[in-house]
Every structure is written in structure tokens, then in C-alpha cells.
């Protein structure tokens, strides 16, 4: 019942606003005509303009003709084109067509609409700027407000960046690049996998560590306040991990992302970089660029598409996000993953001397984790005009491979490996991606080849640097499966657990707040 009442109330309010706006335009038309007639009465003799008798239709016909035209152009219904950046053009077109129609009536039906062309010209000259001023004053006011806000905006170090999910797979690779180039980094993460991924950077004077949950508004405000850039790497990553709890995935990957973007916008963050995935293309044929049709086949991909949408909906002249769609990542970082196809197949080849390939004809683009981090750094460094409100596929064309080609490459690098080709295991993804845009616009080039990344993983396993690649800490899916409630603790439970860790000598020196999921 309340919904019906609210609907009726809104409908009633819309009708009132419609009537007020139309009546205001009626008054503007009559005022403009009065000015035109007034000027005509003053100047017609000196200009030698013949006097034209007036009829009642002289003052009635302009609103009768023009108001319906204004309606069709969206003046009262706020059509999409009328609300867009071409609003001034739309207003000018509508007013011009209205007065051309009046001129035609005056020419063909002088008995009905008797008016001097001079009066029409003067009326048009008054009416058009008045209509523009009446409708565009809000734009001018917002522009002045933005200028005043910019003048009052406190100085922020352009190299002060917040990295959400900074202790994860990509974040741990990005951290070293930022600190090397004298960025002041605020890192927000739960450290689900401990501090080992960023161990070499602990104690760095330009690194501030917050142990926090990006689902908690209070913690986000604290983390975002004062930074000039935000890099959002956090989330539940990977199709299997996301499928474990769909409701939690939507909460972490979508709802929280919108909140992060809204707070960043509210605090005037200069750059907002969101890491998406090429898996948004799903099952598609042909070479895919940033404008290609999206065809997600998993909840993970759908959550990335939805996040891209809500972020871009918030964009305006002051909030200009950049979206990076990563290829399938491989290689080693501070927090290496072995639930990714290249790393997993390579580990199987080294340890078991066999590689199982499911759906070998499926295409994937591949990208080393270090190159992924480099693309984020490049987006932060590039002129804002190049990255504002842009989407970039991130990868290298030479690393577009079928899964069978990837398996054969691993087989050639690890002698004695048996290649086992199996039917697809339910994963319907198939996408070959074009990276021309990021190559030409940002001059991005991948430094790591697929062969070099495979050799890197081989060396890490053979040297014992990776003791057991099957350990759940190397897999998002296995970790969340073994700890199904780890992301469902409330803030009080997390605080108690972390304080207990501090009591027994574990990491208690950082801000103890909540939790955050690490990155891709």
C-alpha cells in the first residue's frame, strides 16, 4: 500500500513540475514577444518598416506552436539527448524550429497570424538566450562550484596511493614498483595469507599498512582520506572460488566495489584504477577488443562486468576511473597462486611429469604477474587525459594461446612430460584478445614471455622455493573451501582473533580492524 501511495505521490509531483515548466516557457515566449513588439513600436518608423495590424492570435499562436515542439524535444520529459552534453544544441534547435514554423504561418496565413518579420526576429533574438539561460544556469552554477571547490581543495601528494588488496598476487608485485619510484603507499588488506607476500617491504618508510575490510565504510573512509589515487585489486578471484558462495561473492566483488568508488569520488580521488578481467568476454569467437560484445559464463565474470558498470556510472568531470581487463595471469610474485592454468600445468609437469589439458582448443590470453603490475603502474603514471574513463585490455598478442598450445610449450620445456588431452571440464570460456589500444595509447609492452614465466615456475619448484604447490595457501579455491566462514566473521570476531595473535607475538603492530580479500 505504501508503494502505491508513493508512486501516486511521485506521479502527482511530476505532473506539477511538468505544468510549472510549461507555464514558465509560456511566460518566456510572451515576454520575448512583448519585447519584440516594443522594439518594433520604437524603431519601425525610423527603419521604414510598414506597420502591421495585430490580431489576438499574435500573442496566442507562439505558445500554441512552440510549446508542443519543446515537448517533442524533451524539454518537459527530460529525454536522454536533452539531458546529455548537447543540451544547448537541442534547445537551440527546438527554438529555431518553433520560430521557423511561426514565420511560415505568418507568410502563408497572414489573416490568421499577422506579424511583422522584424518582430519575429527580435522575439527570436530575445527568446533563444532566455531559454538557454533558464535551462543552463545549473551547469554554470555547478561549474562555478567545482572551480571554488578546486581552489579550496587541499594539496595532495600525487604520489600518495591506496592499494586495496595490496598483499595479494598482483598487489605484492605492484608494491615494489611503487616504492621504488618513491610513491607513498597505503596498503589495505586482511593478510589472509600472512605478511610473507610483502615481507621484504615491511618497515619501508613510505609504506603504511592497514589491516582492514573494504566492506566496512568506516575503514574505507579512513583508508581513502588524504590519498590522490586508489588502486582496487581486492575481491574474491577466480571462477571456482566465487562459486563457493554466490551471495558472498556479490557482496565482496560488487556491492563493496560500488561503495569504494562512491567514497573515493566523495573524497575527490584524482585517479581510480579498477582491475577487471578478460574473462568478461566469456565464450566468443574472433579477436576481441574493448568494444566487443561481453558474454560472461561465470559468476566471477558477471561480477566484474557489473562492477565496471557501476563504476563508470559514477564517472563525471571530476571522477574519471580507469578499468584494466587482465589476461590470465601466470608467474611468481610475493603471493604466488597455483590455481591458474599455466602455473598449475607447469607444477604438474615438474612434480608428476604429466600435464592434463581440459578443452585444448579453447583460447586464452596470458600475462605475467609482473607485467600486470607494470600496467597498473603505467596507468598511474600516464597523463590523465589518456586514461580517464578508459577501458584497456592488458596483455600481449603473442601470448594468445590455446590451452593445448600452452600444454605443448610446457612439455617442450620440461623434458619427459606426458601431455594428456581431455574433454572440456565444464569451463566454456574461449577468447582471443586484441591489445592494440593499450600498446598504442599507453605504449605498454609485456616484458615477460610465456616461456620465461614457465621457466621461472620450474626453477622455483625444483629449487624448493615452492615446497608444495598443492598447499591451500597457493589456491583461492582450496583456501576458501578449507575456511568457508573466514569472510563471514563480524568485525568484533576479527578484532579478538587478531589481538590474540598479537598477544602471542604474531603481527599485532599494524592497525587491527577487519578483513579484505586479496587480488587476482
The three grid cell numbers given for residue 442, joined into one nine-digit string: 599507453
Q: Answer yes or no: is 252 within a domain.
A: yes
Q: What is the rounded distance in angstroms from the CA atom of residue 109 to the CA atom of residue 69?
A: 20
pLDDT tens string 364-396: 999 999 999 999 999 999 999 999 999 999 999
The contacts of residue 462 (CB under 8 Å, 6+ apart) are 350
For residue 225, count CB atoms less than 10 angstroms from its CB and return exposed for 0-12, middle for 13-18, buried for 19 or more. Answer: exposed
In terms of Cβ atoms closer than 10 Å to its own Cβ (0-12, 13-18, 19+), residue 453 is: buried
DSSP 322-363: EEEEE-EEES--TT--SSSHHHHHHHHHHHHSEEEEESTT-E
Considering the domain architecture, whether residues 243 and 387 belong to the same structural domain is answered as yes
Q: What are phi and psi of 512, to 5 degrees?
A: -100, 110
In angstroms, rounded to a whole number, what is the distance separating the alpha carbons of residues 315 and 317? 7
Listed residues 150, 182, 197: the one ending a domain? 150
Alpha-carbon span 118 to 295, nearest angstrom: 60
DSSP annotation of 51 reads P
Residue 298 lies in a domain: yes
In a domain, 208, yes or no: yes
For the chain of 520 residues, list the mean pLDDT of each consecutive stretch of 10. Answer: 44 72 89 87 73 69 89 74 68 91 86 79 90 73 54 72 94 96 94 89 94 84 93 82 76 87 92 95 89 88 91 90 97 93 95 92 95 97 94 95 96 94 77 95 96 97 92 80 60 41 36 31
Helices (H), 353-402: 369-381, 384-387
* Domain boundary, last residue among 150, 179, 214: 150
Task: Give the C-alpha separation, 476 to 493, whole Å.
Answer: 22
CA distance 75 to 89: 12
Question: Residue 140: CB partners within 8 Å, gap ≥ 6?
Answer: none
Answer yes or no: pTM beyond 0.85. no
User: Cell digits for 354?
Assistant: 604429466
Total structural domains in the chain? 2
Query: For residue 359, is it within any domain?
Result: no
- Say what the pLDDT of residue 193 is: 83
What are all long-range contacts of 23-29, with beta carbons under 8 Å and residues at least 24 apart?
24/134, 25/63, 25/66, 25/67, 25/70, 25/75, 25/131, 26/63, 26/67, 28/127, 28/130, 28/131, 28/134, 29/62, 29/63, 29/66, 29/67, 29/127
Same domain, 179 and 44: no
| DSSP assignment letter at 472 | G
- Do residues 119 and 214 share a domain? no
Q: Do residues 302 and 260 both lie within one domain?
A: yes
Residue 411 inside a domain? The answer is: no
Co-location of 383 and 285 in the same domain: yes
Q: Retrieve residue 154's grid coordinates.
A: 587541499
- The domain of 508 spans 160-335+366-398+476-512
Are 109 and 225 part of one and the same domain?
A: no
Q: Are residues 223 and 129 in the same domain?
A: no
Q: What would the grid cell of residue 158 be?
A: 600525487
Residues 180 and 297 in one domain: yes
> Is 404 a domain residue?
no
CB within 8 A of 268, min separation 6: which ones?
149, 153, 318
Residue 435 included in any domain:
no
Residues 256, 186: Cα–Cα separation, whole Å: 19
219-255, pLDDT tens digit by residue?
889 999 999 999 999 888 876 777 777 787 788 888 8
The answer on 274 and 176 residing in a single domain is yes
User: Which runs of consecutive H residues, i.e. helices, occur in 191-245?
Assistant: 217-224, 239-243
User: Any idea what the CATH number is for the domain that residue 495 is in?
Assistant: 3.40.50.720
142 shares a domain with 185:
no
Instruction: List C-alpha distances in Å: 151 to 145, 385, 412.
Output: 10, 21, 61
Last residue of a domain, one of 150, 182, 209: 150
Q: Which of 207, 216, 203, 152 is nearest to 182 (CA)?
A: 207
Task: Tell me how far apart the alpha carbons of residues 402 and 358 are, in angstroms, rounded to a whole number.
Answer: 11
Check: CB of residue 421 under 8 Å from CB of residue 404. yes
Residue 344 lies in a domain: no
Cα angle 381-196-184, degrees, rounded to a multiple of 5 = 30
Q: How far apart are CA 518 and CA 245, in angstroms?
A: 16
My answer on whether 248 and 304 are in the same domain is yes
Residue 16: what pLDDT?
79
Residues 239 and 372 in one domain: yes
Q: How far apart are CA 401 and CA 341, in angstroms?
A: 12
Amino acid at each position: 500500500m505504501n508503494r502505491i501511495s508513493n508512486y501516486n505521490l511521485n506521479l502527482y509531483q511530476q505532473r506539477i513540475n511538468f505544468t510549472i515548466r510549461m507555464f514558465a516557457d509560456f511566460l518566456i515566449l510572451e515576454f520575448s514577444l512583448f519585447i519584440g513588439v516594443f522594439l518594433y513600436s520604437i524603431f519601425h518608423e525610423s527603419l521604414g518598416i510598414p506597420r502591421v495590424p495585430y490580431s489576438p492570435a499574435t500573442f496566442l499562436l507562439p505558445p500554441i506552436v512552440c510549446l508542443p515542439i519543446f515537448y517533442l524535444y524533451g524539454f518537459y520529459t527530460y529525454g536522454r539527448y536533452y539531458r546529455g552534453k548537447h543540451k544547448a544544441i537541442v534547445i537551440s534547435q527546438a527554438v529555431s524550429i518553433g520560430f521557423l514554423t511561426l514565420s511560415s504561418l505568418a507568410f502563408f496565413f497572414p489573416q490568421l497570424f499577422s506579424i511583422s518579420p522584424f518582430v519575429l526576429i527580435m522575439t527570436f533574438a530575445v527568446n533563444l538566450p532566455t531559454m538557454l539561460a533558464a535551462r543552463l544556469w545549473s551547469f554554470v552554477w555547478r561549474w562555478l562550484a567545482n572551480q571554488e571547490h578546486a581552489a579550496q581543495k587541499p594539496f595532495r601528494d600525487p604520489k600518495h596511493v591506496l592499494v586495496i588488496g595490496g598483499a595479494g598476487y598482483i598487489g605484492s608485485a605492484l608494491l615494489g614498483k611503487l616504492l621504488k619510484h618513491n610513491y607513498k603507499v597505503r596498503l589495505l588488506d586482511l593478510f589472509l595469507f600472512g605478511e610473507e607476500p610483502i615481507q621484504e617491504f615491511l618497515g619501508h618508510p613510505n609504506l603504511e599498512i592497514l589491516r582492514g575490510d573494504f566492506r566496512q565504510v568506516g575503514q574505507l573512509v579512513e583508508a581513502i582520506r588524504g590519498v590522490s589515487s586508489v588502486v582496487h585489486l581486492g575481491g574474491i578471484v577466480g571462477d571456482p572460488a566465487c562459486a563457493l558462495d554466490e551471495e558472498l561473492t556479490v557482496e565482496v566483488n560488487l556491492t563493496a566495489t560500488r561503495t569504494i568508488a562512491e567514497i573515493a569520488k566523495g573524497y575527490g580521488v584524482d585517479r581510480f584504477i579498477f582491475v577487471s578481467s578478460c574473462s568478461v568476454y566469456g565464450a566468443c569467437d574472433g579477436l576481441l577488443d574493448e568494444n566487443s560484445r561481453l558474454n560472461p559464463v561465470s559468476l566471477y565474470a558477471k561480477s566484474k562486468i557489473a562492477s565496471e558498470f557501476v563504476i563508470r556510472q559514477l564517472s563525471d568531470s571530476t571522477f574519471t576511473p580507469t578499468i584494466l581487463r587482465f589476461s590470465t595471469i601466470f608467474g611468481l610474485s610475493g603471493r604466488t597462486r597455483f590455481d591458474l592454468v599455466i602455473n598449475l600445468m607447469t607444477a604438474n609437469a615438474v612434480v608428476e611429469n604429466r600435464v592434463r589439458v581440459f578443452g585444448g582448443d579453447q583460447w586464452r590470453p596470458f600475462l605475467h604477474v609482473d607485467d600486470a603490475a607494470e600496467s597498473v603502474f603505467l596507468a598511474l603514471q600516464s597523463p590523465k587525459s589518456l586514461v580517464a574513463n578508459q577501458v584497456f585490455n592488458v596483455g600481449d598478442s603473442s601470448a594468445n594461446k590455446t590451452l593445448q598450445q600452452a600444454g605443448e610449450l610446457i612439455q617442450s620445456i620440461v623434458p619427459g612430460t606426458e601431455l594428456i588431452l581431455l574433454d572440456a571440464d565444464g569451463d566454456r570460456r574461449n577468447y582471443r584478445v586484441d591489445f592494440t589500444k593499450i600498446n598504442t595509447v599507453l605504449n605498454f609492452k609485456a616484458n615477460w614471455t610465456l616461456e620465461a614465466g614457465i621457466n621461472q615456475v620450474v626453477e622455483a619448484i625444483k629449487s624448493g622455493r615452492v615446497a608444495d604447490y598443492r598447499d591451500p595457501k597457493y589456491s583461492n579455491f582450496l583456501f576458501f573451501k578449507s575456511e568457508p566462514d573466514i569472510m563471514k566473521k563480524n568485525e568484533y570476531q576479527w578484532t579478538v582473533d587478531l589481538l590474540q595473535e598479537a598477544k602471542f607475538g604474531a603481527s599485532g603492530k599494524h592497525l587491527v580492524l577487519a578483513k579484505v580479500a586479496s587480488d587476482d
